[in-house]
Structure 1
Amino acid sequence: MTADMESAPPALCRLQLGTELRRLRLESGHKAGAVAKRLLWSPSKITRLEKGENAIVELTDVMALCAVYGADAETRSTLEGYAVVTKTRRDWWQSPKFRPVIRPSLKAFIGQEATAERLHTYQPEFVPGLLQCEPYVRAIHQATIMGLDEDDMDLLVTVRMTRQEVLRRPNSPLKLTAVVNEAVLRREVGGADVTRQQLGYMIDMARLPNVRLQVVPFKAGLHPAMNGQFTILTFRNDAGLKPLLYMEKLADAWVLREDHTVARYHDAFDELQAVAASPRESLRMIDQAIKEL
């Protein structure tokens, strides 16, 4: 196992392993269903492996797929190394204590967020999760999740705040570009005191060199994201992973990977940045909202 692999987060190893397994299958001309039938697996097992959805990947599964695809010795060694990482190290969100409060779609997104190089997000109603302070997180969950007991509330808050570590990770912090609607600044969440604290926290976070924050003012009128929030994740070139689009609604969330769809949202995000206030003017708008509270 290489030194780079030893220091890589398990989530990244799973994603890279899945990407390579899919590449090998396609290059060798095999269909997923035929491979599953040959190995006496369910077709969904192939899908989960190729999407990096399994928390742990069995070394024997990787060896079997490499044999079917005719992978060379160097490739087999690399992919087996990825599998070993998933067996010997665990990402923080895979801890059993978080299992009751992290739904599968969110767990998958956290894994992708933790391995991304860049994250572009538009939020029309809430402060983006990576820029939320603890009291704001608590107020949102109290308002949107009915019947949540105090222990689960504390776990959800811990999950949200721990996710923010990607903005301060050593060597390669996540580069975040967030665009929010002016309504985010004006909507009181948890009362005036909590809202003031949250707006001040946004200003502090926006001063990080890897964070860019812009506000779309009401006076901008119609814009390309009137249909709602979205997030685009982009990965390192050497990760071999395509950008993906994450969208979340009240009762569901999903990931889209089609090139033309992701490109369309990239274009929309560029247009949003063009109509939004500059980062400096956006901070002035946030400061003004604090004063008006």
Structure 2
Amino acid sequence: MMTDTEAATPTLCRLQLGSELRQIRLKAGLTSTQVVKKLLWSPSKLTRLETGDNATVEPSDIMALCQVYGVDEATAEQLKEYAAVTKTKRDWWQSTAFRPVIGPGANAFLGLESSASVVHTYQSEWVPGLLQTPEYVRVLHQNSHNGRSAEDIDRMVELRMRRQKVLHREPPLKYVVVISESVLLRQVGGPSIMRPQLAHLIKAASEPNIKVQVVPFKAGLHRCMNGAFCTLHFRDDTALKPLVHLEHLADSWVLRRQPDVELYAEAFNDLQALAPGPEESLSLIKKAMKEL
């Protein structure tokens, strides 16, 4: 269990609560079907609780589950505290300023990213979000969200910039990045946008909590050519297991099954082994910048 519930974000409390509830249910030898029948709940209600998908959690629902599971009083109180945080606090991206530009998939990912202690990401088309400059972000959104108002685009840019604060919090997010060489050569917005973006990437790579590697074209085939992904890892004092986030044009989703997570973790390790180390990768970035 987390030792500092008061300092935890609502998202982290939801995720922690869901993970512990599932473990307690399994330890009690109960299936989800048995539980929802006892409580006269819909199956989706218990699923949302166990995956942390609810925006808020009712303490009364937690107490009902604790009674079914035969949970001791101390554990029940801790679980109620998690639920209380989701009722009394709000994550920063839930503000009215950002709500118009955040879909369900993005909302879920923001919660996971803000709660993670380590993120491994592979990108083949663009600079990873946490390392993008405002100008680069703006061009991406103007292209991807053609027809959205200038105000909405401004909100999207500000949202991306706020996300990057996880790299400078205490303790900072450990961000391990592998990108394809194509990311360096694709002129998003032209040289005037790409030069500052590559300079920013070079500066970021010097931070102790950020590691950047580039997979050059000459490396040939690799296991991750079917698309970008990131794996998220959480603090040791939580019950949260690593998971994988995937995204495409219309939606995004999370993989939680252990075999799936292990598959992507192995693929990322293979990418790191294939790519040159940080110093040689830095040279590739500087070369691309010079050619602009």
Give the TM-score normalised by the residue count of structure 2: 0.96
CA deviations over 1:52-111 (Å, ceiling 9, x no partner): 111211111111111111110110011011111111111111223322211111111111
Q: Output aligned runs, 1:62-101, within 5 Å.
A: 62-101=62-101
- Could you say which residue in structure 2 is the equivalent of 1:211? 210
Amino acid at match of 1:93: W
Distance 1:30 1:151 in 2: 50
How far off its partner does 1:33 sit?
2.7
- DSSP-derived class of the 1:239 partner: coil
Partner amino acid, structure 2, of 1:258 = R
SS in 2 for 1:146: coil
Letter in 2 for 1:121: T
| Aligned match of 2:166 | 166
Residue 31 of structure 1: how far off its partner (Å): 2.2
Q: 1:109 matched to which residue of 2?
A: 109
Q: Residue 272 of structure 2 aligns with which residue?
A: 273
Contact 2:229 2:246 in 1 (8 A): yes
Backbone CA RMSD of aligned residues: 1.3
Structure 1 stretches lacking a partner, 5+ long: none
Shift of 1:213: 0.2
Contact residue 55 and residue 94 of structure 1 kept, 8 A: no
The one-letter code sitting in structure 1 at the alignment partner of 2:267 is: A
1:228 Cα deviation after fit: 1.1
Aligned residue for 1:6, secondary structure, equals coil
In the alignment, which residue of structure 2 is the partner of 1:151?
Answer: 151
Greater CA deviation, 122-131 or 5-14?
5-14
Q: How far apart are 1:29 and its partner, in Å?
A: 2.1
Cα distance in structure 2, aligned partners of 1:154 and 1:37: 47
Match status 1:227 vs 2:251: no
Residue 283 (structure 1) aligned with residue 278 (structure 2): no
CA contact (8 A) 2:136 2:188 kept: yes
Work out the CA distance in 2 between the residues paired with 1:53 and 1:255. 11
- Distance of 2:38 and 2:155 partners within structure 1: 43
Q: Which one-letter code corresponds to 2:82 in the other structure?
A: Y
What is the one-letter code of the residue matched to 2:203? D
Contact 2:179 2:213 in 1 (8 A): yes
CA contact (8 A) 2:3 2:237 kept: no
C-alpha distance in 1, partners of 2:227/2:137?
A: 20
Other-structure match for 1:237: 236
Dislocated runs of 4+, deviation >4 Å: none
**Aligned partner letter, 1:67:** Q
**AA paired with 2:111?**
G
- 2:263 maps to 264
Distance 1:100 1:66 in 2: 37
Structure 1 residue identity aligned to 2:102: I
The question of whether the paired residues in 1 share the 8 Å contact of 2:180 and 2:216 is answered with yes
Distance 1:218 1:32 in 2: 48
Of residues 4-13 and 210-219 in structure 1, the stretch that sits farther from structure 2 once superposed is 4-13
Q: 1:3 to 1:226 in 2, by over 3 A?
A: closer
Amino acid at match of 2:71: A
1:3, distance to aligned residue in structure 2 (A): 7.0
- Structure 2 residue ranges without an equivalent (≥5): none
1:50 and 1:251 map into 2 onto residues whose CA distance is: 25
Q: Secondary structure at the match of 1:213?
A: strand
Post-superposition Cα deviations, 1:242-274, rounded to whole Å, max 9, x if no partner, equal 110111112221111111111111111111111
Task: Tell me the distance in 1 between the aligned counterparts of 2:205 and 2:118.
Answer: 15
